[in-house]
């Protein structure tokens, strides 16, 4: 088969579904990812998924407030310490809600809000803030999935923010324990 013809055939199969959904950018300033009218319908990741971190003597907690019509993937959470001498045990996650994702099949997700936690493994868990990096991935119910995001937070010693009534002390579930 002629390589140019094969390329055009592949392009046709890729472009047709995109054109049918109306996702081709049309005019406007293309320098900003949310300048396209289709993309403006979606929030930037940091607005769709607002994170907070806090800690006590034994556990680190990360809570997310999830915007309406958005969700976080349960299987995409990861936690890393940026504080010297501090590491974390196994990440504990609530079970989540099952859903069938168009490209991933059956997965578990979180809507509205979620709190994940991990035991603090440190030689000295003083009451100082802990610098952490949180990895997560989420989507909009309207079809946009964000690439995996990483954010840096400082986990302050003390009570959770008011948006999180009480963190789960022991979820009894871990990342490896559920699908």
CA atoms within 13 A on the CB side of 44: 6
pLDDT of residue 176: 43
The pLDDT of residue 85 is 87
Please spell the DSSP secondary structure of the chain, one letter per residue. --HHHHHHHHHHHHHHHHHHHT-S--SS--SSTT-STTGGGS--HHHHEEEEEEE-SSEEEEEEEE-TTEEEEGGG-EEEE-STTEEE-PPB----EEEEETTTEEEEEE-SEEEEEEEEEES---SS-EEEEEEE-EEETTS-BPPPEEEEEEEEESSPPTTSS---S--S-BTTT--
Q: What pLDDT shows up at residue 125?
A: 60
The residue ranges of the chain whose pLDDT is under 70 are: 1-40, 123-126, 165-179
At residue 32, φ and ψ (nearest 5 deg) are -115, 135
Domain boundary assignment for the chain: 3-39, 43-157
In CATH, the number for domain 43-157 is 2.60.40.1250
Q: What is the pLDDT of residues 106-116, one digit of tens each?
A: 999 999 999 99
What is the value of pTM for the model shown? Answer: 0.70
């Amino acid at each position: 088969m002629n390589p140019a013809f094969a390329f055009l055939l592949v392009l046709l199969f890729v472009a047709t579904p995109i054109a049918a959904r109306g996702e081709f950018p049309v005019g406007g300033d293309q320098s900003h990812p949310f300048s396209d009218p289709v993309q403006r319908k979606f929030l930037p990741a940091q607005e769709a998924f607002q994170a907070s971190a806090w800690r006590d003597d034994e556990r680190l907690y990360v809570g997310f407030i999830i915007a309406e019509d958005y969700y976080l993937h349960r299987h995409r959470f990861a936690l890393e310490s940026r504080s010297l001498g501090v590491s974390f045990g196994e990440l504990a996650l609530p079970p989540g809600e099952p859903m069938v994702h168009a490209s991933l099949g059956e997965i578990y997700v979180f809507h509205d809000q979620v709190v994940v936690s991990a035991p603090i493994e440190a030689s000295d868990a003083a009451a100082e803030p802990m610098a952490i990096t949180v990895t997560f991935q989420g989507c909009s119910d309207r079809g946009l999935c964000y690439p995996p995001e990483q954010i840096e937070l400082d986990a302050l010693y003390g009570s959770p923010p008011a948006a999180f009534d009480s963190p789960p002390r022991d979820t009894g579930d871990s990342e490896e324990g559920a699908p």
